[in-house]
Amino acid sequence: MASLELRGLRKRFDGAEIIRDVDLDIADGEFCVFVGPSGCGKSTLLRLVAGLESVSGGSIRIGGEDMTAKAPRERGIAMVFQSYALYPHMTVRENIAFGLQAKRSERAAVEEKLQEVARILELTPLLDRLPKQLSGGQRQRVAIGRAIIRAPQVFLFDEPLSNLDASLRGQMRIEIARLHQSLKTTMIYVTHDQVEAMTLADRIVVLNAGRVEQVGSPLELYRHPRNLFVAGFIGATRMNFFAVHAEESDGKTVTVALPGGASLAVPVDRASAQPGEALTLGIRPEHLRLEGEGPAISGPIEVVEELGEEQLAYLRAPDGTLLTARIPEGGRLQRGMAGRLHLPPEACHLFRVDGAALPRRG
Amino acid sequence: MIRLARHLGFALLLLAIGAFALFPFYHALVTSFRSGSFLFVPAMLPEALDPRNYELVFTQQDFGRTILNSVLVAATVTGVSLVLAVGAAYALGRVRFRGRYALLLTILGVSMFPQIAVLSGMFELIRALGLYDTLPGLMLANLMLTLPFTIWVLTTFMRELPKELEEAAYADGASALTVVTRVLLPLLWPALAPTALLAFIVSWNEFLFALTFTLSEETRTVPVAIALLSGGSRQELPWGLVMAASTVVTIPIVALVVAFQRKIVSGLTAGAVKG
């Protein structure tokens, strides 16, 4: 078990900056998720930690020891790959034991650990099969077994569930969470799926274009996104944004004019905006209300997606933006209806032109 | 009806190709059992099985020694080629470094020169190394023939292996040598077996180097020995002996093909990575 420190980490590929100046601390035993759109550098960052790529600048410390120039096998890491990467010519038993044999451990000790890992992952009856005789979920478990038998200081997961179908993914997610609880080892988990990020992480690192946009607990990111990118990325359905102008501010609230004319006083935490300043207002689809008081936006409902337990309604606002609303019961809105959505002020986010969020209360 | 005609046509084609490929060997086989004036009988079928030629081949000279020489040279050349080629293929197929492509082209370029063009230079080299008229000298020369294509073929195969496997092994704590020998090599088997076979055959059949770089009977290899077989008089070409010797030296190659055939298993990588 170990903590992890990344300082000023940089990676260039053929002149293109993939990782730009990443500083990050991951505490001992923490479950940390790297999340971001494809191409944001999250997998590269993980591979830098693993030692599969060499850094172009900066340093990596694992458990207080400088590992920047060390080979993967000296770093005390174990990695689970997206494609499983099982050795096809070896049985499950050989696959799992490979890492220990590479360390030249004693045969009896290897066998004992192998049995224990197989028991934890329910692989005991499959030990003598070849990878091609296993299902996707079983292969994934073998890949995890191969990692845990080495008792590494840090586990690295590179999108381990993205090749599984939806139901199996949910199941494996729970198994990985359980594994973390029982092993209490530091884990770094890369995913593009923000549901996985929210459900598994102690802390989420949101990456974009090789930079860390924000680091925080799932709820922190959900409630206090630091900028437009994080606000748009975190959340099962994307946050609604529209352009507004500040009317006045008094340090506790910033009043903005909504499309359609209504004014909305958004509570903020010690922040102000110049009258007339252009801002972006953000509100999550699940916070828009059909009933209620206060400011609202009206417009025709253009599309309704019926999900049974809820509806996703798309409303065309007077300024032309399309607003998404999650209505918690099915069947309430139909396409073509005139809609009216209320914006609870405390659920609104404000962002400046450069994307930085105005601090919120609560 | 049309289908029948098509099948028939296909069968005839196969027969023609088979006959073309096998007739020379059949002829050699039949001739090897003939002696004296029977050698010049144009009949297709042997009149009698006369094993005298086979006896003569081994009694007239030390043909067993010759075969052993050939086996030694071919086996060593194949072994050394494969070891070097696997290492080179790993570097050329897996490691990113400057000049990799140029190096690959150079290796291919080596195989471009006709043997006869490098013969005199190679002769000087071998004499300078003190390897003239020795088997190691011949092995060294033959490596020039086998290495380019073994490296080239294995590099191509090495590139096809999923990169994650190698990375997984590194992450599992393996050293580069372990990765090559325990992970990549077993997966290269389907490529390794035929490549080894080809290298063996090239070395086995090699004539020009063997003729030039060896002198004594003790270092002679099979193709040279057969070419130098002499008959009763200077005017007589001992066809029966030549054919008997040729038939004998075909056997190791056939045996090898049969043995390796089982090793050439495809689809070994199935189940490694999803997709």
Report yes or no on A224 lying in a domain. Answer: yes
Over residues B82-109, mean pLDDT: 90
Alpha carbon separation from B111 to A64, A330, B91, B100, B198 (Å, rounded): 53, 73, 20, 18, 15
Q: Quick one: pLDDT band at residue B267, thresholds 50, 70, 90?
A: very low
**What pLDDT sits at residue A290?**
87
Report yes or no on A93 lying in a domain. Answer: yes
Instruction: Give the DSSP per-residue string, A59-70.
Output: EEEETTEE-TT-
E-only strand ranges, chain A: 4-13, 16-26, 31-35, 57-62, 65-66, 77-80, 154-158, 186-191, 203-208, 211-216, 240-249, 253-257, 263-267, 278-283, 296-306, 311-316, 322-327, 338-342, 349-351
Burial class of residue B29 (count of CB atoms within 10 Å of its CB; 0-12, 13-18, 19+): middle
Spatial contact of B136 and B209, defined as CB atoms under 8 Å apart: no
Q: Quick one: pLDDT band at residue B268, thresholds 50, 70, 90?
A: very low
Q: How many CB atoms lie within 10 A of CB B144?
A: 16
Q: Quick one: pLDDT band at residue B79, thresholds 50, 70, 90?
A: very high
Q: Quick one: pLDDT band at residue B270, thresholds 50, 70, 90?
A: very low
Range of the domain at A191: 4-233
Residues in chain A: 362
Residue B169, chain A, CB below 8 Å: the answer is yes
Alpha carbon separation from B114 to B111, B119, B126, B136 (Å, rounded): 8, 9, 18, 22
Same domain, A337 and A219: no
Spatial contact of A198 and A234, defined as CB atoms under 8 Å apart: yes
**What pLDDT sits at residue B217?**
85
Report yes or no on A184 lying in a domain. Answer: yes
Nearest to A164 by CA among A184, A144, A146: A144
Same domain, A158 and A28: yes
Report yes or no on A34 lying in a domain. Answer: yes
Q: Quick one: pLDDT band at residue B94, thresholds 50, 70, 90?
A: confident
**What pLDDT sits at residue B269?**
44
Q: What are phi and psi of A249, to 5 degrees?
A: -150, 145
Same domain, A218 and A306: no
Number of H helices, E strands in chain B: 12, 0
Q: Tens of pLDDT along B181-198?
A: 889 888 888 788 888 888
Same domain, A164 and A69: yes
Inform me whether the pLDDT recorded for B130 exceeds 80: yes
**What pLDDT sits at residue A229?**
95
CATH label of the domain that carries residue A65: 3.40.50.300
Amino acid residing at A36? G
Q: Which of A189, A213, A233 is the last residue of a domain?
A: A233
Mean of all residue pLDDT scores within chain B:
86
List the domains of chain B with CATH numbers.
Answer: 20-36+45-60+229-265 (no CATH), 72-222 (1.10.3720.10)
Q: Quick one: pLDDT band at residue B232, thresholds 50, 70, 90?
A: low
**What pLDDT sits at residue A362?**
67
List, in sequence order, every residue forming a beta bridge with A253; answer none if it has no partner: A267
Residue B207, chain A, CB below 8 Å: the answer is no
Which residues are CB-contacts of A90 (< 8 A; sequence separation ≥ 6)? A98, A130, A131
Task: Give me the residue from A85, A130, A132 closest to B164, CB to CB.
Answer: A85
Same domain, A263 and A172: no
CA distance A37 to B5: 61
Same domain, A223 and A246: no
Same domain, A204 and A321: no
Same domain, A35 and A83: yes
Spatial contact of A74 and A153, defined as CB atoms under 8 Å apart: no
A-chain residues near B168 (CB < 8 A): 79, 81, 85-87, 143, 146
Backbone dihedral region of A245: left (phi > 0), alpha (psi from -120 to 50 degrees) or beta?
beta
Same domain, A328 and A227: no
Mutation for B interface: A98, A101, A117, A156, most B CBs within 10 A: A98
Same domain, A265 and A294: yes
Report yes or no on A359 lying in a domain. Answer: no
Query: Could you tell me the two tokens for B20?
Result: 């073309």
**What pLDDT sits at residue B272?**
47
**What pLDDT sits at residue B58?**
87
Number of structural domains, chain A? 2
Of the candidate ranges A19-28, B63-72, B204-213, B263-272, the one whose mean pLDDT is the lowest = B263-272
CA distance B86 to B191: 11
Q: How many CB atoms lie within 10 A of CB A15?
A: 5
Q: Which of A192, A211, A233 is the last residue of a domain?
A: A233
> Taking the mean position of all CA atoms in its chain, how far away is CA B176?
30
Same domain, A214 and A252: no
pLDDT by residue for chain A (362 residues), tens only, comes to 689 999 999 999 888 889 999 999 999 999 999 999 988 999 999 999 999 999 999 999 999 999 999 999 889 899 999 888 999 989 999 999 998 887 777 888 889 999 999 998 889 999 999 999 998 889 999 999 999 898 899 999 999 988 888 888 888 899 899 999 998 999 999 998 888 999 999 999 999 999 999 999 999 999 999 999 999 999 888 999 989 989 988 888 999 988 888 889 999 988 888 888 999 999 999 999 888 877 889 999 999 998 888 889 999 998 889 999 998 887 788 888 888 899 999 999 999 999 999 998 86
Which residues are CB-contacts of B211 (< 8 A; sequence separation ≥ 6)? B223, B224, B227
Q: Which of A218, A233, A248 is the last residue of a domain?
A: A233
* In chain A, alpha helices (H): 42-50, 92-102, 107-120, 136-148, 166-183, 194-200, 218-223, 228-233
Q: Which helix (H) or strand (E) holds A290?
A: none
Residue B164, chain A, CB below 8 Å: the answer is yes
Report yes or no on A56 lying in a domain. Answer: yes
Spatial contact of A191 and A35, defined as CB atoms under 8 Å apart: yes
**What pLDDT sits at residue B234?**
67
Same domain, A109 and A9: yes
Residues 56-75 of A with CB under 8 A from B: 71-73
ipTM exceeds 0.95, yes or no: no
B-chain residues near A139 (CB < 8 A): 271, 274
